[in-house]
A = this chain, B = another copy of it.
Amino acid sequence: MLEDKSPQLTPISKLGEFGLIKHLTENFPVVQESTQLSIGDDAAVIDAGDKKVVLSTDMLAEGVHFNLGYVPLKHLGYKAVVVNLSDIAAMNATPTQVLVSVAVSNRFPVEALEEIYAGIALACSRYQVDLIGGDTTSSNAGLVISITAVGLQAEDKIVKRSGAKANDLLVVTGDLGGAYLGLQILEREHSVYLANPDMQPEMEGYDYILERQLKPEARTDIRKKLEELDIVPTSMIDVSDGLASEILHLSDQSKVGFHLYEEKIPLDSTMIATAEELNLNPAMAALNGGEDYELLFTIAPSDFDKIKNHPDFTIIGHATEHASGNYLVARGSNQLIPLTAQGWDAFLNGE
């Protein structure tokens, strides 16, 4: 993709490791007051004041988490940051800094790394987080990106996966399953392209789900909205592996069961239409698809009135005693179907 556009490419070896890092990171401004020392020293320093420091790390590998055949490098850089900010948001904390490491083979020119860093810069700017460190190295094959995100929050506002109680309400932000269906469309059009490179990909009408897959956003806005509603969730997680998998995590760590109502799962109309086009069950795509980066959380039943008609939140179920287990309550029949994690799994789907 990139190779076609740029006739004059720079081999990475020309800049050297130090030159490359300096070159790639020179346009990152420091915007957080808490960033005392950023790139260029042995480590970064963060002024925590009376806030706690929250850290999260995530690794994305070519061929497993992304396919460069249809994922533009700039989107990849953007998404790599967003995925980590989503983890910080899932703690009810404010993301403040990121550290980024990239391993890349010499088949990538400097311009390819610049595209990745342009995406990283866009995410840093959009979410007002500072790039405070990282590493760039060559690898024998493939591209691997590892990101550590840092966030701050007062101790009594940090929300873990472990605080849900029986009868708490189960709430999710946004809509689910779109990122998974966006991926299906990208893979379909990529197969068509591989079979016949002269075919134009048919992407029209799929904008929303393609954006959900290629340029997801982290719900860093939710912390403030919950604060305005005077709600501190009892437990929270982000939806990275699929709704079913995340519910089982909350169940496991909070020692509760859950009833999830199929008819309550928020689904977008483009997503439903695409699922039907591809002969997929929309609810199953939401349950097992993953990569939506919405927030899933529980609140005390007494908070119901605060949240019931809010456009950002959908109540999709409730917690039960742990021994009751985890069930999907099927649309129409009200049949109880045991929830299992069939979510995206790097080891099962990779290679």
- Which residues of A line the B interface, CB within 8 A? 12-13, 15-18, 20, 36-37, 40-48, 52-65, 87-88, 90-91, 93, 97, 99, 101-103, 105-106, 132-142, 144, 146, 148-151, 155, 158, 160-162, 236-238, 253, 341, 345-348, 350-351
> For residue A47, which residues in chain B have a CB less than 8 angstroms away from its CB?
52
The complex places the Cα of A22 from the Cα of B164 at a distance, in Å, of: 22
Partner pick for A140 among B56, B59, B138, B142, CB 8 A cutoff: B142
24 A-B pairs with CB atoms under 8 Å apart are A15-B347, A16-B345, A16-B348, A36-B155, A41-B253, A42-B91, A42-B238, A44-B54, A45-B91, A46-B52, A48-B52, A48-B53, A53-B53, A55-B55, A55-B97, A57-B99, A59-B137, A59-B144, A59-B146, A61-B137, A61-B140, A65-B137, A139-B142, A148-B148
Question: A196 CB to closest chain B CB, in angstroms?
Answer: 25
> For residue A56, which residues in chain B have a CB less than 8 angstroms away from its CB?
42-44, 133
Question: A16 CB to closest chain B CB, in angstroms?
Answer: 5
- Which residue on B lies nearest to A145, using beta carbons? B146
A64 touching B347 in the complex, CB below 8 Å, given contacts A46-B52, A54-B44, A103-B144: no
Number of copies: 2
> For residue A162, which residues in chain B have a CB less than 8 angstroms away from its CB?
41
A61 touching B16 in the complex, CB below 8 Å, given contacts A41-B161, A44-B55, A346-B137: no
Lowest 3 CB-CB distances: which A-B pairs, in order? A146-B146, A43-B56, A48-B48
Question: A131 CB to closest chain B CB, in angstroms?
Answer: 11
The complex places the Cα of A318 from the Cα of B91 at a distance, in Å, of: 48
> For residue A15, which residues in chain B have a CB less than 8 angstroms away from its CB?
347
- Cβ-defined contact, B351 with A55, below 8 A: no
- Which residue on B lies nearest to A40, using beta carbons? B253
Partner pick for A346 among B17, B43, B52, B161, CB 8 A cutoff: B17
Instruction: A36-B52, A45-B91 are known; give 13 further A-B pairs, CB within 8 A.
Output: A42-B56, A42-B90, A42-B236, A42-B238, A43-B56, A45-B55, A61-B103, A61-B137, A61-B138, A64-B139, A106-B350, A139-B144, A139-B350
